[in-house]
Chain A
């Protein structure tokens, strides 16, 4: 018999290391032709930290993303980036890039203010132009600004770093400020369960994530979809088996450790939620791990909801489902 069920899963996630310093740094140089070198320590493992760094630099400097070239994760060139872990690079390396750009803009502001004859604090850098927020007719292009910089022998260089505002936690009770900022998420997921075979079909999944400010909506979607694949797999297909004698992993291959494919995925409806805050670069927060988490409890709850039973252990494999359903029926027949 096929039965459908729905589950809700929520989470919050502290961005960066727990109650520990975890700084990251960036170098920036705006070149005479308005192209920019951004150098960060952050390892990009496909999640998109380098793209994030380019976007934050472009936004801060008032240039286009095409103007930015990012070099990353080369220790003889790039400053400390810390680990690509704890969903920290958007928040921490992002702030480092913003700080480095702000430093590089010191000379850019001084020069633009001289040329336009306006106070530095009125200047807006946006879309490759610099203008006064008080009088938008006072404006110049970025190439004009870089020409003025060259004429004056000025360089637009910056180094910046960021360390989240946290405290060490009290060893007695863990009190303190473990993280500066938290990401949030809610996932609602629907499954169909075959009570005879124990097979679970993932039908639909809505996953809403508070990312502060989305840097790149497609990357947000990609993270949520990938995270849902891993979170649902956590519950219904993935498990390491350890040999009880040698304590070796018995299934170290992709043929025996089953991760979901596109064919196994539900229809996913990712939602990026914004929230107001100053901590992250333009309010942005991490998503790498939050993307995974809520679909795990949501999948457990959905399978439970389909059968009218409660699961408290992972994984939930077909044999577990068939047994739970039989046990439930046996209990009902006795009752």
Chain B
């Protein structure tokens, strides 16, 4: 008898049918009687003070129900999953292209677009910070607060400085990864309305409804149990729907108009303002013995995290812990610095810095294999995590460490389905 009655058997996903039939209801599919459409007026410069924001012409357009700037926010105007550094609507200065300055609700989407055209803004432009290096330069313009250092981490395990003498081979490389977009297939959308009990309801495409609830409550200055966030069927996220999207804007507009308000971002707007993958540079020195045992890893990691913190603290916390990969190494150091700039905001993206770390640790393992003239899989097997391994935070792994099996099973299958390719692995 199999150990499990249900697990590891074949059964359909609980939402397979409605997704396959096209009857699943995404946020953009919701309509309510008396519903307004809405949109956001956004900055077209990366770093500036708002000298003047003229909403009068937009407000005067017949069919426009509300045009709001930050002064309409009844509660808090700072949000963010870890660091509350992003405004619902800009109140001090613009920190990136696409920052939200005002929101509009109107009877039709066409009227929304027309009203957005009627909003006038005057900027007092500031020098933008365009890269990690610019952010760290003395005298650089400051994006937030007192310093452009968004976050810093230092991991230290064993004694790296003394370890190099014990190494027979040392490889040194600098790796860098680029900015990517999630390109979840469904652009952000949501709808908000006050129900008959006065509870603010928000139906949205999201990865984190409870967080959204807390942020909407803080923005409106009402208790958390007076906000109901319901996730609509969601067309992917990959981390890009962890930051709050349209939820605050539709809730603010519904609060003031007392009518249901819907917002659907275009693909362009969605991609412009949702978070991106952190581009990380990793300067790495790795030492090993003649027989391929890792002795020391030393990494300096830098990153242009963009205009807001978002999930940056989670990425900078995770990447150093994973920087050696699934390998035992008694001496590890990692110094990481993430900087604020006026570039697109980086945030959560499937892997939280580990894909970037993997580019580094796997690059180094391949470089070591070459330097030692060793089979790359054999080298990995020799260093593989197992039960009892102590990782660079000092944690001892006690169970569920299946890494060696993944190496062996992948090699076995690859030898079966791509034997010539496997022969090529050794001929570098």
Chain A contacts to B: CB under 8 angstroms: 4-14, 17-19, 41, 43-46, 48, 50-51, 54-56, 58-59, 62, 64-65, 70, 72-76, 80-86, 126-127, 169, 172-178, 181-182, 184-188, 190, 203-204, 206-210, 212-219, 230-231, 234, 238-240, 242-244, 246-249, 252-254, 257, 259, 267, 269, 271, 273-280, 282-285, 288-289, 292-294, 296-298, 300-301, 304-305, 308, 310, 312-315
Q: A204-B421, A247-B343 are in contact. Are A85 and B6 (CB under 8 A)?
A: no
Tell me the minimal C-beta distance from B88 to chain A in angstroms: 19
Contact assessment for B406 and A6 in the assembled complex, using a CB-CB cutoff below 8 Å: no
Given A14-B321, A248-B98, A313-B177: 20 more A-B contacts, CB < 8 Å: A9-B362, A17-B314, A45-B237, A45-B241, A73-B209, A84-B237, A126-B5, A177-B395, A184-B402, A186-B411, A187-B410, A188-B418, A208-B413, A240-B344, A247-B342, A249-B272, A300-B359, A301-B376, A310-B363, A315-B178
- Nearest opposing residue in chain B for A58, CB measure: B6
Within 8 A of A (CB), among B321-358: 321-322, 325-326, 342-344, 348, 350-352, 354-355, 358
Known: A188-B414, A273-B402. A59 touches B5 (CB 8 A): yes
B contact residues around A82 at 8 Å (CB): 208, 210
A6 contacts across to B, CB distance below 8 A? 418, 421-422, 424-425
15 A–B pairs (Cβ distance < 8 Å), ordered by A: A12-B322, A43-B206, A45-B234, A58-B5, A82-B210, A181-B400, A188-B418, A216-B8, A216-B11, A240-B179, A240-B344, A246-B44, A247-B130, A253-B271, A269-B413
Contact, CB under 8 Å: A11 / B6: no
Number of A-B contacts (CB under 8 A): 389
- 8 A Cβ contacts from B388-428 to A: 392-395, 397, 399-403, 405-407, 409-411, 413-414, 417-418, 420-422, 424-425, 428
Which residues from B are CB-within-8-Å of A56?
Answer: 7
Chain A residues within 8 Å of B414, by CB: 188, 204, 206
Contacts known (A65-B6, A249-B272, A271-B413); A206 close to B418, Cβ less than 8 A:
yes
Contact: A75 with B210, CB < 8 Å?
Answer: yes
Q: Which residues of B contact A297 (CB under 8 A)?
A: 358-359, 361-363
Partner of A289, one of B236, B351, B428: B351
Question: In the complex, how many angstroms separate the beta carbon of B216 from the nearest chain A beta carbon?
Answer: 10
Q: Determine whether B366 belongs to the interface, using a CB cutoff of 8 Å to chain A.
A: yes
A214 to B175, CA, bound (A): 34
CB–CB B128/A81 < 8 A: no
Interface window among B59-67, B151-159, B250-258, B291-299: B151-159
Q: A300 — which chain B residues lie within 8 A by C-beta? A: 359, 362-363
Residue contact A206 to B413, C-beta cutoff 8 Å: yes
Tell me if B150 is interfacial: C-beta within 8 Å of chain A: no
Tell me, in angstroms, the Cα distance from A76 to B227 when the chains sit together: 8
Give which listed residue, B225, B322, B367, B402, contacts A13 with CB less than 8 A.
B322
B239 close to chain A: CB less than 8 A: yes
Q: Per-residue CB proximity of B226-260 to A under 8 Å, as 1/0?
A: 01111100111111011000000000000000000
Tell me whether B179 and A294 are in contact (CB under 8 A): no
Q: Residues of A contacting B141 with CB < 8 Å?
A: none
Given A12-B403, A208-B409; A73-B231 close (CB under 8 Å) = yes
Is the Cβ of B424 less than 8 Å from the Cβ of A4?
Answer: yes
Q: What is the bound-complex CA distance between A76 and B209, given in angstroms?
A: 10
C-alpha gap A218/B211 in the complex (Å): 31
CA distance A209 to B227 in the complex (A): 40
B380 within 8 A of A: yes
Q: Are B183 and A259 in contact (CB under 8 A)?
A: yes
CB of B181 within 8 A of CB of A75, answer no
Interface presence of B300 (CB below 8 A):
no
Complex interface: chain A residues within 8 A of B241 (CB): 45
Is the Cβ of A178 less than 8 Å from the Cβ of B321? yes
User: Are the CB atoms of B231 and A210 closer together than 8 Å?
Assistant: no
Residue in B242, B314, B325 whose beta carbon sits within 8 Å of that of A11 in the complex: B325
In the complex, what residues of A have CB within 8 A of residue B406's CB?
10, 184-186, 208-210, 271, 273
